[in-house]
Amino acid sequence: MKCQSVSTSNESKSFYFKQSFNLNYHLPIKQILDREDFRNSVFVIVELNHTLHLAQINHVDLKKNQLKISMFSPPLPGKKFSILKSSLTLISINNVIVRLTETPIQTTRNRITLSDEQFTSVQDLCDEF
């Protein structure tokens, strides 16, 4: 399975990986196919310069197809992240690959950690990307 670029249709579909033991195993990431998925505070995985990054949406401008995001480092895959000092970045919505269905665990003001389930899903996504 390969993720496609963002669609702005009104339909939304869950994001699944094929697992040999269970083809309907739901993962904690979702393709963004609906404009409603672009909301402030949502965590997304974006592709910039052929590298996947974890980011959080700060501002949405769907008229211009742009998002202002806070970037986290290091690039994916990883489990623990820090917000970048100059983290506010303006990107096209087409750079968004998927969104997290649950918020990562905030360990300190500027640090977050993915749950084990989120980490496994992100690692699978990176392997297929």
The pLDDT score that the predictor gives to residue 27 is: 67
Does the domain made of 29-128 have the CATH classification 2.30.30.1160? yes
Higher per-residue confidence, 21 vs 50: 50
Is a pLDDT exceeding 80 seen at residue 2? no
Is a pLDDT exceeding 60 seen at residue 13? no
Rounded to an integer, what distance in angstroms lies between the CA atom of residue 75 and that of residue 15? 21
Percent of the chain with pLDDT over 70: 78
Is a pLDDT exceeding 60 seen at residue 19? no
Looking at residues 101-119, what average pLDDT do you find?
93
Q: What is the pLDDT of residues 47-105, one digit of tens each?
A: 999 999 999 999 999 999 999 999 999 999 999 999 987 768 999 999 999 999 999 99
Domain boundaries, the chain: 29-128
Strands (E), 4-128: 29-30, 43-48, 51-61, 66-73, 80-92, 96-100, 105-108, 111-113
